[in-house]
Structure 1
């Protein structure tokens, strides 16, 4: 159930605490002391701002109390001799009551660690009016609570990521963070081989309805892999740990796409199973483009080439998961899962017409139809063992992952007679490949005293990539295809990479509100690359030392200041390495470079967060410096063909800030914000023909609104605009999108139905104008994409289950390969407006690289705790994100007598959960 808490409730609680503490200070004159630590049983994290109330036995009137600090610690001073009840409570948790006795004036009773369990009451006395924050700021990440946004329902992960602060998603699905596409995208803290080929296509496989939240981690700690220059994006899907049996149905039907998902869950005792999956289809995705390209050939003649085509795209995806978890005992657990995915993508360029002019005289005309087929299947199998201890935040874990993606990425060009449109000849490119990873990881963390945590671990990634490519030619419409034996056109690339890593991290949180998390990570990379029938590609091994430091200060009123620095690397993926000539568009070909080295980036960030009377504000400034950057090098071959390859020649800098504001007023909630940065790019090439540099401002803004009409109806709206993007050799035009959704929950809160519509005034489509300039070529592109869409969403849950507090889980994550953010298949003429690739994205190659953020959510370790000073939200979550009453949590202490005296005089005891699940 989504819990909405009005800001007036928070003020009431605050002033109640203030009044109680003032009253207590006036009445108590003893010298006794009662202390303890309050811990959340679900994740073993401190419960900051928990309320501790002291009453005399057989009396309901409070005589003293305290509020726990950010570490969950509390102390009640000046307690006279006597027998008391100590009640520990927090919104969303069951109240724990202990009986203590103060026998002499200086008696000191330490209650030790006290665990709070999720509440079983329905909070009938609370008026539910506000809404959970759409955007939350944590110590090292920004969290976008996607389940609160109905405007993206029925879409896919691409639609969700467009709404996330600091992220930009273009019309091709390429994702960038603060203007940098070198990010790692994870699913539930895990890498997946579906991300190893095309990020854009992988995101289309994830239904928006399945996404609970998105975490943007801009300052990863040493525990993270060193990969991902800009940061890490972690997509958290909806999942529950429950007792019983349930089946969830999610369905969406729309003008441009549909989805059907079924998810079942069975849990009994210590054993749990999940089985489910979904299928998505995409259709009616149409557009067109036109490129005007001026080039200078080898003898100095200037040529004008005009190229245009109509574009279509359709796709069919499926992903299925079997999960198993077993709690051996309260300290040991096993988790295993197997995921299988399939993808069937088709991209078309109909009537790809190219006309070449010299001095306004038509020199050549070429007409063809392009059909690109992208098929793949992938499997991810993981196993993890976690050992926890009585001592909070002490943990040992062993994690293993096997991931493999098999991909067939082909295209065929039917070259037509411009007059009769008969097939003259055919050109085919076949590219079979696979990406396989085996990963082992060991982690250990232990607290040092009450204010420090030490973490250490090691990891081994064994990666194998193979790409078998070949070109074939045929005459006429039915002629037999003949393989071209030229080594540049038909060959096999074998690429082996082993990464060995270890890290050490240290966290300190002082009583004065300062917190420090610093660490050091070392990674050593071994590479073995070769082409069939050719000499071995010489790539030296290399090691890298990666420091990170995060410093924050919590001030009065819950305000937080954060300062961070980290060094990152970005290894090239197969998209940059593959020597397969990508020539679906014959005037724009791309060739990879197997000898590329990694990039190195330094990131600096200063942030500030505050919360005042229902308004939260977060602002951050950042500086990013990248050396040895992988950048494109373009030249002209023949009369008018642009050839693109890649080299480590770039230097990129970005200086900017981002702002997010969230306002909750009664039934309204409004979120707005944006980011702006100044980019400087230089390829450092000494040859003036190929030298390139550019600089300029880049900005973006978004606005979200929600109005809760009543208990069942809600109305939401969303819009964003991204200004022009500064690129090394030109600019890419800006674009905007908007959507409105209305949603109705069923009375039994087991399901909902909704209607969403986007870009409803834009009947002519979204138009993007781009430019590409260099000493040897100039290009202007116009791309049009039809985005008017509507859809009906329906979801329903069958069965009844009760929630258990889930155990803290670790997951394994790899995030150490640079990819192009998804631009890897022949597209619809919308990437670079054909600027880089003429009429569309070049023929796909298989990028390598997946990501890995921190597995567990640890407040001191990764800032995963509840926001301070905001009252904290109960952690009730219904199946499929539906609003409903909180499910009852089994009482772990039912067998105890209600008023049992648990703490003898002067004896330190610890409340131990009987079921830590």
Structure 2
């Protein structure tokens, strides 16, 4: 432990030393360091008060190059430091005010320049009210991840995160909420870039606690960089929840009532000046019925035992999640944020189970049991994060997280006679504690315009405790200790020290390379029943390489390789012998070792007219693979024991295909197919210590299809179907299942809310999931009938008023590389999406890349338009404009009919139709009205996949995306 703490201290010292290397301190330009400064004050021309958060952009006049920037403080003051001699000009902008340009600012002999106060005048047309909406693509693809924008999914209203993830490409989610990527269930799930102990204990349970209505997007990261934790051999899923960067207050109410579940959520936000506060709560109750039947045969000592079992169950659950968060701007370069989140889960099942055991074809015994099981937990996450921004895209962050989950998994089983009279009772108490403390430091800096360097260190202290026992009663509720069944404890600590470095390089020929190396040291101390378990410490070097090539404006080719570690989960370690089902007994294995996986993938994404297409092939090789194994128990006739072992090797090769078709501006269809061939082989050790070789192989497959249609009057419709085929396991296969849904939604005219109805599996009673296991000494066939026909009615409404404010930067404990992003945003023309907290850095890169194309026009001047090419530019176009609040991504959809131009423009201020559009040869013009604010645009066709567009405030280039 002392060695691990010493390693951690050295790693964090390394990160801080990198953050303070010469020439990169606060306010230092990325150019040659000088000692001069330019200072000034920005005032409101009407009131004379300082304008806070005004954008200050510094340009070199001779090269017309943006070299520095800052924002004003609460008194309107700003300072640009460490400048060399030269001729500069400054642009000052702020939303609702006319832009100011200060020219001929000369620094000579490194003398400071103090500018006179600059007064900004309000624009002729100021937005009296702004409604911020978003209508992004449902699916966006980046260099190392697929982004599913869940906020567009109306069918998920009132559901939970599992309902959303079933629709995400590359993912498969079973009926219990267990998730896999490309057939691998060894994955890492993050919520807003943060791990949580409830996720570590059970991904399925964690997804039930997260409401679908609060999910903004889901990122499937198939080729993680070195900045990620090495854990998760199959990949990483990052769930981004909805956030708010506006000023004012709002309160959002959403509720739903259905045959299988009901929900109630209330979320609020308050922001004023430098301070922001969020508060939210969500509760969901569900109720369902299930039927299962199992037929299994075991052979021991030439004795054949046949078990036939049937259960009729009623399920009830309550899940809740509550959060309180804050963020505060210490000054214009330092930001503090924190929060507390509490999750609660209570799941109960009441089932009547009949078991018949036949020995050599003769009835041996009949057993009737009334089983009441209860699983409940409480999870608390606390985080405090600090971010220091030295320059655009040069940042140091320090993040902390404390996470704790108390989990109890208990059951009471009453044995009954044929008349259902009480015989005796058995109770199992299983109390678990999972606790984590995390400290993380990251530093990122650019070199020039096409290189990024990242370095970081992280320490994780984990503790898992389990305390379990059995009680027995011969009369109802008179329980005493059952000495025939062992009680026990497990104390398991896992401490991880990690460091990484990552380098990204983008070439002018649109190649992007990102290479990284991560080192992790894992120290384990474990005791079971106060006896030490000898698990050796281990170190791992985890490399990662991502490369991409932009083939024209519409096609991108990607190649990625990474190595991943999968450490055992709490459920796999827990030594409690669970005999809730006396014929299918489960127990964990505290001696499990981690598995190591090598992944490689090749992907191609392109646009074919109005169709976005992504196809990828992948290979995966896992050594020391952790698998669930089963074998018969000699002392219990017909019973099977399930546990976990490091079996040996697992191999898979497969393909994913996804397409999104925009049939029209209002109708889209998307779907995908996932298929892989898996081969598993290794050694299975039985209770008697003998080891046998097991092997299995076969195809895994799944698919999904969704259609969305927007109607007049705020109405919309959505249809969805999902199918997951069988999953190959070491000793058989687990059955597949499917589902389908249809929803109708109506938005209120003021965009403050909506109501709708959703139908699930409305034409069938339910689904049968059939699984088959087969090994040397046993076989099992099970059928689970899930009765999940459902109708739900949803309602949501927003109270309050929000106004624009400057986007605030935050950083938190995470296992992502959203700042680096594999170079996807350095290429230009790439599809955007993902985490809001990383948006400032991404946009800074976009501004540097598009400096010439997206530079605001100087006030009072106008650059002449070129002649242009007379080409049909119908389709979808994207560009990034430098606005008063920083960079703004804009999407244009154009349609040409002769000399008439129609279409839409979408920005963060909303989506509007264009009007008075005209096309003349290679030039065009149109107007857009945002409330009372009229904007006139002029454009020119530069080439087939590039347009130039300008108005009286700015000019930019657009790239074709469809």
Give 1:434 shift: 0.8
Q: Would you say the 8 A contact 2:330–2:336 is kept in 1?
A: yes
Q: Give 1:336's aligned residue.
A: 338
Q: Would you say the 8 A contact 1:651–1:684 is kept in 2?
A: no
Q: Give 2:399's aligned residue.
A: 399
- In the alignment, the residues of structure 2 paired with residue 780 and residue 875 of structure 1 have an alpha-carbon distance, to the nearest angstrom, of 55
Give 1:88 shift: 12
Equivalent of 1:508 in 490, 505, 508: 505
**Which digits, 9 at most, give the CA deviation of each residue in 1:573-614, with x for residues without a partner?**
121111110111011112222111100000001011112433
Q: Give 1:657's aligned residue.
A: 655
Q: Would you say the 8 A contact 1:631–1:647 is kept in 2?
A: yes
Q: Would you say the 8 A contact 1:876–1:886 is kept in 2?
A: no
Partner secondary structure for residue 452 of structure 2? strand
1:566 corresponds to 2:571: no
1:36 corresponds to 2:65: yes
Q: Give 2:173's aligned residue.
A: 169
- In the alignment, the residues of structure 2 paired with residue 461 and residue 341 of structure 1 have an alpha-carbon distance, to the nearest angstrom, of 21
Correspondences of 1:184-203 after superposition (within 5 Å): 184-203=188-207
Q: Give 1:353's aligned residue.
A: 354
Q: Give 2:787's aligned residue.
A: 786
- In the alignment, the residues of structure 2 paired with residue 546 and residue 470 of structure 1 have an alpha-carbon distance, to the nearest angstrom, of 40
Give 1:808 shift: 3.1
Query: Residue 521 and residue 164 in structure 1: after superposition, are their counterparts in 2 closer, same or farther (change >3 A)?
Result: same
Correspondences of 1:374-523 after superposition (within 5 Å): 374-390=375-391, 392-417=392-417, 419-478=418-477, 480-485=478-483, 489-523=486-520
Give 1:804 shift: 2.4
- In the alignment, the residues of structure 1 paired with residue 100 and residue 607 of structure 2 have an alpha-carbon distance, to the nearest angstrom, of 31
- In the alignment, the residues of structure 1 paired with residue 524 and residue 346 of structure 2 have an alpha-carbon distance, to the nearest angstrom, of 32
Query: Residue 686 and residue 184 in structure 1: after superposition, are their counterparts in 2 closer, same or farther (change >3 A)?
Result: closer
RMSD: 3.4
Give 1:95 shift: 11
Query: Residue 872 and residue 702 in structure 1: after superposition, are their counterparts in 2 closer, same or farther (change >3 A)?
Result: farther
Q: Give 1:249's aligned residue.
A: 253
- In the alignment, the residues of structure 2 paired with residue 787 and residue 728 of structure 1 have an alpha-carbon distance, to the nearest angstrom, of 30
Correspondences of 1:858-877 after superposition (within 5 Å): 860=823, 867=831, 870-871=877-878
**Which digits, 9 at most, give the CA deviation of each residue in 1:333-390, with x for residues without a partner?**
000101112221112222x111011233211111101111111111100000000023
- In the alignment, the residues of structure 2 paired with residue 129 and residue 88 of structure 1 have an alpha-carbon distance, to the nearest angstrom, of 23
- In the alignment, the residues of structure 1 paired with residue 151 and residue 579 of structure 2 have an alpha-carbon distance, to the nearest angstrom, of 41
Partner secondary structure for residue 572 of structure 1? coil
1:751 corresponds to 2:753: yes
Q: Give 1:282's aligned residue.
A: 286
Structure 1 unmatched runs, 5+: 1-31, 43-83, 103-118, 814-851, 889-910, 912-917
Partner secondary structure for residue 809 of structure 2? coil
- In the alignment, the residues of structure 1 paired with residue 567 and residue 407 of structure 2 have an alpha-carbon distance, to the nearest angstrom, of 21
Q: Give 1:525's aligned residue.
A: 522
- In the alignment, the residues of structure 1 paired with residue 400 and residue 557 of structure 2 have an alpha-carbon distance, to the nearest angstrom, of 37
Give 1:861 shift: 7.7
Query: Residue 453 and residue 426 in structure 1: after superposition, are their counterparts in 2 closer, same or farther (change >3 A)?
Result: same
Give 1:41 shift: 9.8
1:640 corresponds to 2:638: yes
- In the alignment, the residues of structure 2 paired with residue 340 and residue 398 of structure 1 have an alpha-carbon distance, to the nearest angstrom, of 23
Q: Give 1:853's aligned residue.
A: 816
Give 1:670 shift: 1.0
Partner secondary structure for residue 151 of structure 1? coil
Length-normalised TM-score, structure 2: 0.73
Q: Give 1:835's aligned residue.
A: none
Q: Give 1:144's aligned residue.
A: 148
Partner secondary structure for residue 675 of structure 1? strand
**Which digits, 9 at most, give the CA deviation of each residue in 1:99-146, with x for residues without a partner?**
8799xxxxxxxxxxxxxxxx999999xxx9996321110111000011
- In the alignment, the residues of structure 1 paired with residue 831 and residue 552 of structure 2 have an alpha-carbon distance, to the nearest angstrom, of 14
Q: Give 1:838's aligned residue.
A: none
Give 1:684 shift: 3.7
Query: Residue 123 and residue 615 in structure 1: after superposition, are their counterparts in 2 closer, same or farther (change >3 A)?
Result: farther
Give 1:685 shift: 4.7
Considering Cα pairs closer than 8 Å and 6+ residues apart, tell me whether 1 or 2 has the greater RCO.
1
Q: Would you say the 8 A contact 1:725–1:732 is kept in 2?
A: yes
Q: Give 1:180's aligned residue.
A: 184
Partner secondary structure for residue 691 of structure 1? strand
1:261 corresponds to 2:285: no
Q: Would you say the 8 A contact 1:803–1:887 is kept in 2?
A: no
- In the alignment, the residues of structure 2 paired with residue 658 and residue 246 of structure 1 have an alpha-carbon distance, to the nearest angstrom, of 41
Query: Residue 121 and residue 151 in structure 1: after superposition, are their counterparts in 2 closer, same or farther (change >3 A)?
Result: farther
Partner secondary structure for residue 337 of structure 2? strand
- In the alignment, the residues of structure 2 paired with residue 678 and residue 887 of structure 1 have an alpha-carbon distance, to the nearest angstrom, of 44
- In the alignment, the residues of structure 2 paired with residue 374 and residue 782 of structure 1 have an alpha-carbon distance, to the nearest angstrom, of 23
1:273 corresponds to 2:271: no
Give 1:689 shift: 7.4
- In the alignment, the residues of structure 2 paired with residue 681 and residue 96 of structure 1 have an alpha-carbon distance, to the nearest angstrom, of 65
Partner secondary structure for residue 244 of structure 1? strand
- In the alignment, the residues of structure 1 paired with residue 470 and residue 438 of structure 2 have an alpha-carbon distance, to the nearest angstrom, of 34
Partner secondary structure for residue 731 of structure 1? strand
- In the alignment, the residues of structure 2 paired with residue 733 and residue 589 of structure 1 have an alpha-carbon distance, to the nearest angstrom, of 20
- In the alignment, the residues of structure 1 paired with residue 439 and residue 90 of structure 2 have an alpha-carbon distance, to the nearest angstrom, of 49
Give 1:727 shift: 1.6
Q: Give 2:371's aligned residue.
A: 370
Query: Residue 713 and residue 361 in structure 1: after superposition, are their counterparts in 2 closer, same or farther (change >3 A)?
Result: same
- In the alignment, the residues of structure 1 paired with residue 308 and residue 271 of structure 2 have an alpha-carbon distance, to the nearest angstrom, of 62
Q: Would you say the 8 A contact 1:634–1:690 is kept in 2?
A: no
- In the alignment, the residues of structure 2 paired with residue 886 and residue 98 of structure 1 have an alpha-carbon distance, to the nearest angstrom, of 28
Query: Residue 251 and residue 885 in structure 1: after superposition, are their counterparts in 2 closer, same or farther (change >3 A)?
Result: farther
- In the alignment, the residues of structure 1 paired with residue 601 and residue 406 of structure 2 have an alpha-carbon distance, to the nearest angstrom, of 39
- In the alignment, the residues of structure 2 paired with residue 726 and residue 741 of structure 1 have an alpha-carbon distance, to the nearest angstrom, of 33
- In the alignment, the residues of structure 2 paired with residue 553 and residue 527 of structure 1 have an alpha-carbon distance, to the nearest angstrom, of 42
Q: Would you say the 8 A contact 1:129–1:667 is kept in 2?
A: no
Length-normalised TM-score, structure 1: 0.77
**Which digits, 9 at most, give the CA deviation of each residue in 1:754-812, with x for residues without a partner?**
1111111112x101111100010011111110111111111111010113242332221
Give 1:202 shift: 1.4
- In the alignment, the residues of structure 1 paired with residue 490 and residue 605 of structure 2 have an alpha-carbon distance, to the nearest angstrom, of 49
